[in-house]
Amino acid sequence: MGQRILGLDVGDRTVGIAASDLLKMTAQGVKTIRRGELADDLARLDELMHEYDAVQLVVGLPRNMNGTEGERCEFVRSFAAEIKKMRPDAEIIFWDERLSTVAASKSLIAADVSRKKRKKVIDKMAAVFILQGYLDSLTK
């Protein structure tokens, strides 16, 4: 089986995860990890990396609207550094995710998904938008 790319939307309470198809053209939502102990979060991510044969991770970087990096970016970069310690072979690509959650939310609203259900899938959908943005940039 070929390698896929995983997309991550890292938050305080959850990590949304998406995976590319084998041709690296489309992104699909995989799951949302409920954050707990860092070691547990990393172990679950490691399992997914093995399951999807993925060493490339596209991690959403939540820049401020003016393009600067704030404390949210530091939080995400710190999480990514922990991934590198766990998996030195991982290639981490940071991707500007400024509007991914907004786009995911609008997409779910347009699909008439209930507020309760949106809350459950929003992080996974944001990861899809992050990864799809990256995949689209590869074909340009």
Segment 30-63, tens digit of pLDDT: 999 999 999 999 999 999 999 999 999 999 998 8
CATH number at residue 126: 3.30.420.140
% of the chain at pLDDT higher than 90: 62
**Residue 132 token pair:** 């799809």
Confirm if 4 and 22 have CB atoms less than 8 A apart.
yes
Total tally of structural domains belonging to the chain: 1
Q: What CA–CA distance (Å, rounded) separates 58 from 5?
A: 7
Taking 50 as the threshold, does the pLDDT of residue 1 lie above it? no
Q: What CA–CA distance (Å, rounded) separates 43 from 92?
A: 17
| Alpha helix segments (H runs only) across the chain | 38-51, 71-86, 100-110, 115-138
- The whole-model pTM stands at 0.85
Q: Which domain holds residue 125?
A: 4-138
| pLDDT number for residue 129 | 86
